[in-house]
Structure 1
């Protein structure tokens, strides 16, 4: 654990604020900066007492006292943490940008081996984001919101999830069945919920726990439906009827509608024949 904290620069043992006394004000400031391992540009310096030179043999003198603290620069911390976190994973990882917008930090990284950084459906990237958030919170002393992206993966993944949400909702409405999506991360589930939040035709819930937690999309009109479940992994596909034991394909909805129309036409003609 100590080795990990040292590697990621968690700041667990590194002080963020020191109080220093010295005969000279300049010496007190220099010692404070040295203890924190930072430059003057990265520090807040509060002078508690400028000190006082004593008379003969220093009698009546007073030490200078200062408080030196780190200037909080989350952008620099994020870059440092990511570089250390990915050092063993992929040495080619580079931080492209760190921006702050609407209460959240956005960190974009790139790599020569982007597939390793992303992992299957972004699972490795999600894990890195969680570690980054936890370490940053420990260093800053408070929780901050961070989104970690790599080569524009988040936006592309969002487009896929929105398409899945829309197609699955259509399937739920058409079949009046509960549609189970594949297990997803909390980040991905949030996108699905948000996409269908304003729909009057379907509702979304999350079921199961851990790695099996997934979204279930249900038709809002349950009076005409049933409690059967339809499981789909991505976009719903049209189901092709299979042959029955007799070797014939089962009747389709279109064939049944055609039969109903034909029967209706026959019924309309019957009164004319009876009158004759």
Structure 2
């Protein structure tokens, strides 16, 4: 991971340039404060641009001995930290950037596993012709499932439900 430090003028010195984005500064400062208040042994940094994110995304990475506690059961604590960070970083009148908070690469591993499971279940749906409905998922997880199966021609996906009870269904496509 690259070293990221905050300078006296408020800019964040990253791997190749200085970050002065007010949303990134607020997001980083908030997560740093949270980790300190939670008395966790972890560090937060702005993740370097790996070319896969968008210009409208701020990615924060948490690493350290307590990163597992920050992730929480099934990523619930990490999800809550991301939600709160988004609320703190966004101010009225500013263009909204997506804020992603990760710890020890949890999100990437989770998304890979979810996509793999969705593909396996989709093959079963195509073979057996029966709809499969996932348990409720976050918007991000639903998107992972939809994107993982978008190229499959023998199944389609739909989201149903409201709020925290929203679920993805994998539905067989009838070929007549």
> CA offset at residue 199 of structure 1?
1.6
Aligned to 1:142: 95
1:94 aligns with 2:43: yes
Which ranges of structure 1 fall in alignment gaps of 5 or more residues?
A: 1-37, 44-70, 224-276
Give yes or no for contact 1:204–1:216 (8 Å, CA) kept in 2.
yes
Asked which structure has the greater RCO (Cα within 8 Å, sep 6+), the reply is: 2
Distance 2:54 2:64 in 1: 27
**Runs of 4 or more above 6 Å deviation:** none
Aligned to 2:85: 132
Aligned to 2:14: none
Give yes or no for contact 1:99–1:107 (8 Å, CA) kept in 2.
no
> CA offset at residue 72 of structure 1?
4.1
Give yes or no for contact 2:129–2:172 (8 Å, CA) kept in 1.
yes
1:76 aligns with 2:28: no
Give yes or no for contact 1:90–1:117 (8 Å, CA) kept in 2.
no
Aligned to 2:173: 220
Which ranges of structure 2 fall in alignment gaps of 5 or more residues?
A: 1-6, 12-19
Give yes or no for contact 1:95–1:109 (8 Å, CA) kept in 2.
yes
Aligned to 2:133: 180
Aligned to 1:205: 158
1:111 pairs, out of 57, 61, 64, with 64
> CA offset at residue 173 of structure 1?
0.6
Structure 2 SS opposite 1:138:
coil
Paired residues, what number? 158
Distance 1:186 1:119 in 2: 18
Structure 2 SS opposite 1:86:
helix
Structure 2 SS opposite 1:194:
helix
